């Protein structure tokens, strides 16, 4: 079986769906393929997003939102805590989504814009002509499928095969990936109004634990540890210990595990006839692990650039340069700063973390964003934070 279109999008997560939607709205014929039979399942993230940034791209529907939180509470290893308001706490705090509903809704918007969405369709490789990608080979319900298209958008996650097939270096070092485990927990002790972050090398070596409330005393409770500090089964073991300590009466209803890139911007997110979006392009935040919003933003850019490149008749890497320029100008700069923060903070001992959060106890941080809080931390702890001085001045 064979099909033809202008753009093939591989992966129907938020980045892929936004790319398909933007390309279809620009008048292109689009096919989006998803290897799973259900879009949005299984959920592999804490599901938190900032309200303002989300609303710049889509109009949230009530059924997408599991909870609306007031802010974030951050705990040092010794139990000391600080509180940040939701509008200052970062891009992962504000709404806690129902990703299964949210992802399907974005895919539906892409379909309503004209994209053809095909689930249970696994991409097997890139078709090439004279060494240049010209489509995708796939398997759908046991039947081979050839999709001819001059442009492919890879939104196929951290393990992106599209990137590798296109010759893009997507390898990750152990120190540039977080091993993650998450439970959906029901416990009367869950705070329904605040996301919570727990620091400490005994809790999550070179990482952190979290609780993202989903209403009615339900929460996504998880942790991530640096790959270079992990071993098989370690994240799950530590998460069980964390839940036993902090939610002793909790009942675990679901469990997911996975990996999250925590590297800086990828060297190249394009090749001839190919653009990568979201985790495939390492566009998640290296410090927090959050990547929903950046994937959506990059997807929109990719869809818009696809239309321009096809209209100009140039889908070479040079013809796709606008995509690289636009996402790096905004998303890329943020990722680069976050990577430097991450590289510094993973070296801190629990004593250092206690000192930093303890130093904020007498400071009013309620109206500070992360950069403002770092400036205060640097003023109070110049020796400890000296190597970050160029990021906070």
Residue 375 pLDDT class (50, 70, 90 cuts): confident
pLDDT at residue 186 is higher than 90: yes
**Digit-coded pLDDT (tens) for 204-242:** 999 999 999 999 999 999 999 988 888 889 999 999 999
Residue 43, pLDDT score: 75
Give the three-class secondary structure for 326: helix
Name which residue leads in pLDDT, 38 or 277. 277
Q: Express each pLDDT in 132-171 by its tens digit.
A: 999 999 999 889 999 999 999 999 998 899 999 999 988 8
Burial 16-38 (b: 16+ CB within 10 A, else e): bbbbbbbbbbbebebbbbbbeee
- Alpha-carbon distance 54 to 46, whole Å? 16
Taking 80 as the threshold, does the pLDDT of residue 372 lie above it?
no
- C-alpha to C-alpha distance for 88 and 369, rounded to whole angstroms: 4
- What is the distance between the alpha carbons of residues 54 and 68, in angstroms, rounded to a whole number? 13
* pLDDT (0 to 100) of residue 389: 79
What pLDDT, on a 0 to 100 scale, did the predictor assign at position 89?
A: 59
CA distance 311 to 97: 36
Distance of alpha carbon 240 from alpha carbon 260, whole angstroms? 20
- Res. 370: pLDDT tops 90: no
pLDDT digits (tens, 9 = 90+) for 12-47: 999 999 999 999 999 999 999 999 999 987 777 778
The pLDDT of residue 232? 87
The pLDDT confidence band at residue 90, using thresholds 50, 70 and 90, is low
Which of the pair, 110 or 173, is modelled with greater confidence? 110
Q: Is the pTM of this model over 0.85?
A: yes
The percentage of residues in the chain with a pLDDT greater than 90, rounded to a whole number, is 70
Look over the chain and give the mean of its residue pLDDT values, rounded to a whole number.
92
- Residue range 239-251: average pLDDT? 95
Q: Let me know: does 222 contact 207? Beta carbons within 8 Å.
A: no
The whole-number pLDDT of residue 393 equals: 59
Res. 177 pLDDT band, cuts 50 70 90: confident
334, containing H or E segment: helix 333-345
The residues with which 196 forms a beta bridge, in sequence order, are 73, 211
Does residue 378 register a pLDDT over 70? Answer: yes
């Amino acid at each position: 079986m064979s099909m033809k279109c202008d753009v093939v999008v591989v992966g129907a997560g938020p980045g892929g769906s936004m790319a398909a939607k933007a390309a279809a709205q620009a008048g292109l014929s689009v096919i989006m393929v998803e290897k799973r039979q259900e879009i949005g399942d299984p959920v592999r993230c804490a599901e938190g997003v900032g309200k303002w940034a989300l609303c710049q791209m889509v109009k949230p529907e009530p059924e997408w939102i599991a909870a609306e939180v007031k802010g974030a509470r951050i705990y040092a290893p010794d139990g000391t805590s600080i509180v940040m308001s939701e509008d200052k706490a970062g891009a992962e705090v504000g709404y806690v989504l129902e990703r299964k509903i949210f992802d399907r809704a974005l895919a539906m918007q892409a379909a309503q814009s004209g994209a053809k969405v095909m689930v249970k369709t696994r991409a097997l490789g890139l078709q090439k002509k004279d060494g240049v990608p010209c489509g995708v080979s796939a398997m759908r319900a046991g039947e081979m499928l050839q999709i001819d298209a001059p442009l492919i958008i890879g939104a196929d996650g951290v393990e992106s095969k599209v990137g590798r097939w296109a010759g893009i270096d997507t390898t990750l070092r152990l120190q540039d990936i977080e091993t993650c485990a998450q439970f959906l927990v029901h416990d009367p002790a869950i705070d329904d109004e605040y996301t919570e972050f727990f620091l400490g090398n005994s809790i999550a070596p070179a990482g952190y634990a979290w609780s993202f409330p989903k209403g009615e005393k339900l929460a996504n409770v998880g942790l991530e540890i640096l790959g270079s500090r992990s071993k098989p089964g370690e994240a799950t073991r530590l998460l069980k210990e964390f839940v036993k300590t902090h939610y002793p009466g909790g009942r675990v209803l679901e469990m997911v595990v996975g990996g999250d890139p925590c590297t800086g911007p990828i060297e190249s997110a394009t090749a001839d006839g190919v653009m990568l979006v979201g985790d495939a392009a390492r566009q998640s935040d290296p410090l927090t692990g959050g990547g929903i919003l950046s994937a959506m933003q990059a997807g929109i850019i990719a869809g818009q650039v696809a239309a321009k490149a096809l209209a100009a008749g140039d889908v070479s890497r040079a013809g796709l340069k606008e995509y690289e320029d636009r996402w790096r100008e905004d998303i890329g700069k943020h990722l680069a700063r976050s990577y430097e923060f991450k590289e510094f903070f993973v070296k801190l001992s629990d004593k250092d973390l206690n000192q930093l959060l303890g130093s904020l106890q007498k400071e009013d941080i309620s109206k500070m964003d992360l950069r403002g809080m770092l400036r205060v931390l640097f003023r109070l702890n110049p020796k400890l934070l000296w190597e970050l001085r160029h990021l906070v001045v």
